[in-house]
Structure 1
Amino acid sequence: MVSALIREPALYIGGDWIAGSGGECAVENPATEQTTGVVTQAADAEIDRAVAAARGAFDSWASTPVAARIDALRRLYDAVTGRAYRFAALITREQGSPPYLARKLHVDLPLRVIASTVDALAGFAFRGRQGDSVILREPVGVVAAIMPWNLPLYQIVAKVVPALAAGCTVVLKPATLTPLTAFEFARAVEAAGFPPGVFNVVTGGGRDVGECLVRHELVDHVSFTGSTAVGRRVAAAAAETVKGVTLELSGKSASVVLSDVSDELLARAVQATVANCFLNGGQTCSALSRLIVPRARLGQVEKLAAAAAAEYVPGERLGPLISAGRRFAVESYLEQATARVVSAPLELPRTGYYVTPTVYSEVEPDSRLAQDEIFGPVLSILAAESDDHAIELANNSIYGLSGALWVGDDDRALDWAARIRTGQVHVNAAPFNPRAPFGGYKQSGLGREMGDYGIDRMLQVKAVQL
């Protein structure tokens, strides 16, 4: 069981637990608005110590045989599995996820990512031939992994595990709103028997600890997930020392329903889109927050969407937003929106940062509702005059992270999907594949995570002429 107040007085650096000298930070439960934990924070001395530990461990870890790295990652899988209920409870407390979702989304999915990364590593080609040249793929070095707050364990695993698989060493900075999961992950790494310094955790704000890591001369690569606005600053700061960056940023993903879908498939499309949009309180970068449908079927879609939205009762199926500030930001969109609301108002719990799940219809394509990443349970329905117009609407965004396509003609599904300018497209409710590359077009980011592509992103390429 998780204790009443969680205290984390030490950072994980070089295989030891080291007291931080950057003060303490309270962690709030967004469902109760009460302090649920207190963690230590790093100052410059601990940041330097963590980076030095990662640098000192790099040569040995990089030269560790792949089979040994696979064994270590399998032990990590077992360690995370053994702590699954602990992780779920922590995520409910610090992120607000309802318990059923905390386990299914926040813990089980990261476990699948670890397993798929192990599979990818087992078959990964670190050497190849190009004519008379041998092509070597070698670990890039020390990786600074800077986390968001919305999916604490998943984001850690998506960044840290491929880096470790590639032979890199890691300094992890969790989000200040959700640091508790990172400490528990460090204990899992410790239990798995990774060498000291291969994985390190430092806590603190993005403008001090995060920026220090990005600018640090001994950090070779920065892997960041967060908003596009912050991602631009990360890229600019990393450029001062010509670091590589992997950026997984904002999204405004579209669920595109083409005109040839049956009534049955249309109902599935609406149900699945609402579920995806409202998943995690709407706080996912890949949320399908735009539903694009044929105008002739708009009335049918509105009824289906309203019925689906009514199932997301705040405090039960729908969790809170992460903070009072996020609630204020989402509510500002709801107050200023001029589109037509088709969902019914739902009663909100008296405590917690909840907002009403809302569906708008006939949203103007260039409006803030259709263009901004709201990061809350808000769905915009847009009417398309034709299938070509539907694709045009889907691409009318500065973002391109994910998307969905609903089409009756399976033979043409790939042709239609290829026209959507986004990093992933799920056709007719195809499930998420943790082995497939994940990342965005346009201002949704740089690089890819997951599977072979996630490992490859953490490597340098060397040509040896023979």
Structure 2
Amino acid sequence: MMLEEARTFAGREHRLYLGGRWVDGPEGKTLETHDPSTGLHLSKVPAAGSSELDSAVRAARQAVDGGEWSRLTPADRQKVIWRLGDLMVEHADELAALESLDTGKPLRDSRFFDVLNAASSFHYCAGWATKLNGETIGVSRPGEWHAYTVHEPVGVVAAIVPWNAPLMIASAKVAPALAAGCSVVLKPAEETPLTALRLAELSLEAGLPAGALNVLTGTGPELGDAMVRHPGIDKVAFTGSTEVGRHIVRQAADSFKRVSLELGGKSPVIVLSDADLDRATPLVAQGIFANTGQACNAGSRLFAESAVFDRVVEGVAEYAAQLRVGQAFSEETQMGPLISQVQLDRVAGYVDIGLSEGADIRVGGKVLERDGYFIEPTVLSGTRTEMRVAREEIFGPVLCAMSVTGDDLDDIVAEANATNYGLGASVWTRDLGKAHRIARRLKAGTVRINGGGLDPALPFGGYKESGWGRESGLQGVQEYTELKSVMISLGEV
């Protein structure tokens, strides 16, 4: 029944959400999306352009410059944001069905990972609406002074999100921006617009004032670029490829917009010989095959000590061979399709590159001859850090396995750090002294020891070409504020 309702939602005539109202898109300009599980037509949405963007920015500007949203007390703002999180939980089955239709990921994953994490972002960030306090500062100037700082909303935020986890990533931007008192113009990826449009409906039901959230569907080259360049937008929050991140930085430079970027990754997974392999091995596999490897933080490079290398790789390969690959709504499916034919060709091309560079396929590697965009979960061994498959982000279910010696931790860390990225890393060992020493040396924004996952209280972001700034936690909310210093003389005027 929920799948049928989701398909009905996908197939209806969609509009743009601007200033608390649903409005038509530009005549004759639409985008068609496809179900990755079948390759068949799924939905058609408006392709917004500069005119619609101008309207959205005006509505967002009014909301933060004297509109109802700006007049809400922090406590009232908190209640609205919390209510939106509640509504996401109430409609979790529906949102999960829409997400699985759009992305092809197994329904179970959408329901119990994507949707619940998305709702958690709103519940967590709601609390910060009443706690964005400044400081009283003692200054050393002659005379008597009262000096303090305040966090103020940065203003109108352009949130541009990708297709791999559209609802969860949109929530990770919209929730903290609203908690900080900003207004948002949200652009979902053109491949996956459905949950963003449903989120707009839920925001209206939650009582979010007009203009606080606006949702525009459109392409990156037209709408996305226009958002970055628009003089009425104060900050751009983007998640996507490093290549597009560079483009955004260049486009935003002329107006000195605030920019936060969560970009690519090539995350190392280090397994030392003393690790609990029965626990580590399946989690290493899940770290690369979950979401069909389409995750910026996927553990795509395995560095296992030589004493346990064969056992770990064989265990991951066995896990991969037993994974049931199929359509999103099959109860048996454990790994779904890639998002599109373009992504399927990209991932298959990288497997061929790995073979040409001298890697061996331990398992998988084949495109599956069926409707949709399916490839086998793949493990490449015999890889080296200088190979393209070990340096470049594949964004698919392909693990590059490398054997290392444990004689010198610095050598292991040097191998793990031999990448332009620095988003995440994982370490498996029973020796917490080694774990701490490795974690201290890794150039990564998030280091997980013996497991771990996402939490809205934990800042998330990367070093090097993995981005600027942080999402989640207090730091993630502060990314949407400007810090103002105030100094008042207590002497005679």
- Shorter-chain TM range is over 0.9
Q: In the alignment, which of 343, 363, 366 is matched to residue 386 of structure 2?
A: 366
Q: Match of 2:40?
A: 34
After superposition, give the CA deviation of every residue in 1:185-215 in whole Å (9 maximum; x if it has no partner): 0001111111101110111111110111100
Cα distance in 2, alignment partners of residues 109 and 433 from structure 1 = 8
The CA deviation at 1:223 is 0.3
The CA deviation at 1:344 is 5.1
- Aligned pair 1:355/2:378, yes or no? no
* Within-5 A mapping of 1:13-412: 13-21=18-26, 23-60=29-66, 61-122=69-130, 124-131=131-138, 132-261=146-275, 265-315=276-326, 316-337=333-354, 338-343=358-363, 348=368, 350-386=370-406, 387-412=409-434
The CA deviation at 1:137 is 0.7
After superposition, give the CA deviation of every residue in 1:39-61 in whole Å (9 maximum; x if it has no partner): 11212211100001000111243
Q: Match of 1:450?
A: 472
- For 1:295, give the aligned amino acid: S
Query: In 2, are the aligned partners of 1:226 and 1:249 still within 8 Å (CA)?
Result: yes
Query: In 1, are the aligned partners of 2:353 and 2:388 still within 8 Å (CA)?
Result: no
The CA deviation at 1:442 is 0.1
The CA deviation at 1:29 is 0.2
Query: In 1, are the aligned partners of 2:135 and 2:150 still within 8 Å (CA)?
Result: yes
Cα distance in 2, alignment partners of residues 168 and 319 from structure 1 = 36
After superposition, give the CA deviation of every residue in 1:239-260 in whole Å (9 maximum; x if it has no partner): 1110000000000001111243
- Aligned pair 1:2/2:24, yes or no? no
Query: In 2, are the aligned partners of 1:63 and 1:167 still within 8 Å (CA)?
Result: no
Q: Which moved more, 1:125-134 or 1:198-207?
A: 125-134
Q: Match of 1:12?
A: 17
The CA deviation at 1:113 is 1.9
Pairwise CA RMSD of aligned residues?
1.5
Q: Which moved more, 1:428-437 or 1:181-190?
A: 428-437
Query: In 2, are the aligned partners of 1:126 and 1:138 still within 8 Å (CA)?
Result: no
Query: In 1, are the aligned partners of 2:348 and 2:365 still within 8 Å (CA)?
Result: no
Query: In 1, are the aligned partners of 2:132 and 2:180 still within 8 Å (CA)?
Result: no
Q: 1:168 to 1:345 in 2, by over 3 A?
A: closer
Which of the two has higher C-alpha Rg? 2
Cα distance in 2, alignment partners of residues 212 and 449 from structure 1 = 24
Cα distance in 1, alignment partners of residues 13 and 442 from structure 2 = 45
Q: Which consecutive residues of structure 1, in runs of 5 or more, have no partner in the other structure?
A: none
The CA deviation at 1:349 is 5.8
Cα distance in 1, alignment partners of residues 386 and 176 from structure 2 = 38
- For 1:389, give the aligned amino acid: D
Q: Match of 2:491?
A: none
Q: Residue 252 of structure 1: SS of its match in structure 2?
A: coil
Q: 1:213 to 1:351 in 2, by over 3 A?
A: same
Q: Residue 236 of structure 2: SS of its match in structure 1?
A: strand
Q: Residue 223 of structure 1: SS of its match in structure 2?
A: strand
- For 1:71, give the aligned amino acid: K
Q: Residue 318 of structure 2: SS of its match in structure 1?
A: helix
Cα distance in 1, alignment partners of residues 292 and 101 from structure 2 = 15
* TM-score for the superposition, normalised by structure 2: 0.91
% identity of equivalent residues: 39
- Aligned pair 1:427/2:435, yes or no? no
Query: In 2, are the aligned partners of 1:27 and 1:37 still within 8 Å (CA)?
Result: yes
Cα distance in 2, alignment partners of residues 8 and 421 from structure 1 = 47
Q: Residue 270 of structure 1: SS of its match in structure 2?
A: helix
Query: In 1, are the aligned partners of 2:82 and 2:126 still within 8 Å (CA)?
Result: yes
Q: Residue 261 of structure 2: SS of its match in structure 1?
A: strand
Q: Residue 150 of structure 2: SS of its match in structure 1?
A: strand
Query: In 1, are the aligned partners of 2:364 and 2:376 still within 8 Å (CA)?
Result: no
Cα distance in 1, alignment partners of residues 453 and 382 from structure 2 = 28
Q: Match of 1:461?
A: 483
The CA deviation at 1:459 is 0.3
Cα distance in 1, alignment partners of residues 391 and 278 from structure 2 = 25
Cα distance in 1, alignment partners of residues 453 and 171 from structure 2 = 19
Cα distance in 2, alignment partners of residues 3 and 442 from structure 1 = 41
Query: In 1, are the aligned partners of 2:159 and 2:237 still within 8 Å (CA)?
Result: yes
Cα distance in 1, alignment partners of residues 367 and 339 from structure 2 = 19
Query: In 1, are the aligned partners of 2:157 and 2:184 still within 8 Å (CA)?
Result: yes
Cα distance in 1, alignment partners of residues 423 and 403 from structure 2 = 21
- For 1:44, give the aligned amino acid: S
Query: In 2, are the aligned partners of 1:448 and 1:454 still within 8 Å (CA)?
Result: yes
Q: Residue 12 of structure 2: SS of its match in structure 1?
A: strand
After superposition, give the CA deviation of every residue in 1:63-114 in whole Å (9 maximum; x if it has no partner): 4321111100111012212221111111111111111112112211112222
Cα distance in 2, alignment partners of residues 276 and 120 from structure 1 = 31
* TM-score for the superposition, normalised by structure 1: 0.96
Query: In 2, are the aligned partners of 1:70 and 1:121 still within 8 Å (CA)?
Result: yes
Q: Where does structure 1 differ by over 4 angstroms across 4 or more consecutive aligned residues? A: 344-347
The CA deviation at 1:130 is 1.6
The CA deviation at 1:345 is 6.5
Q: Which moved more, 1:97-106 or 1:410-419?
A: 410-419
Cα distance in 1, alignment partners of residues 457 and 436 from structure 2 = 19
Query: In 1, are the aligned partners of 2:348 and 2:367 still within 8 Å (CA)?
Result: no
